[in-house]
């Protein structure tokens, strides 16, 4: 089996798994991926309101509220906000966590973003 057919088979298997997800779980996965992509973009161009910048505008208001409260807690649980332990403002906690992600390199950065995406997806799924 050549690499092209291997990757094609792998992609088809992943797509098949995703196609069988319940609609609410697909929505939560989509939300997790969108927010993670927005965090990547924010790292390159910080804005004033980080939580507004990283949470897509087309997400249900109930989920937005849960994400605004949950993302700082997720960043804290991933030990990304230890440099600003005195912060209580969700904006500042989130900025601190994103700054730590920004300073990571290579595989470690990818692993943290992956874990972040999974945890945000779980949070979105609970509210969906």
Q: What is the pLDDT of residues 97-126, one digit of tens each?
A: 988 998 998 889 889 988 898 898 888 888
State yes or no: pLDDT of 24 exceeds 60.
yes
* C-beta of residue 98 within 8 angstroms of C-beta of residue 43: yes
Residue 58 has φ and ψ, to the nearest 5°, of -90, 10
* pLDDT band with cut points at 50, 70 and 90 for residue 73: very high
Give the Cα separation of 2 and 105 in Å (integer): 31
DSSP structural state of residue 82: G
* C-beta of residue 67 within 8 angstroms of C-beta of residue 124: yes
Give the Cα separation of 34 and 15 in Å (integer): 18
Most trustworthy range by pLDDT among 18-22, 40-44, 84-88: 84-88
């Amino acid at each position: 089996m050549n690499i092209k057919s291997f990757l094609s088979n792998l992609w088809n298997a992943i797509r098949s798994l995703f196609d069988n997800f319940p609609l609410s779980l697909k929505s939560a996965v989509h939300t997790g991926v969108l927010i993670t992509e927005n965090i990547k973009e924010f790292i390159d161009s910080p804005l004033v309101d980080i939580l507004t910048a990283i949470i897509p505008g087309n997400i249900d208001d109930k989920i937005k509220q849960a994400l605004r409260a949950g993302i700082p807690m997720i960043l804290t649980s991933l030990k990304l906000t230890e440099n600003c332990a005195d912060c209580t403002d969700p904006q500042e906690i989130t900025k601190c966590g994103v700054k730590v992600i920004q300073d990571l390199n290579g595989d470690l950065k990818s692993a943290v973003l992956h874990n972040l995406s999974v945890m945000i997806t779980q949070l979105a799924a609970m509210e969906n």
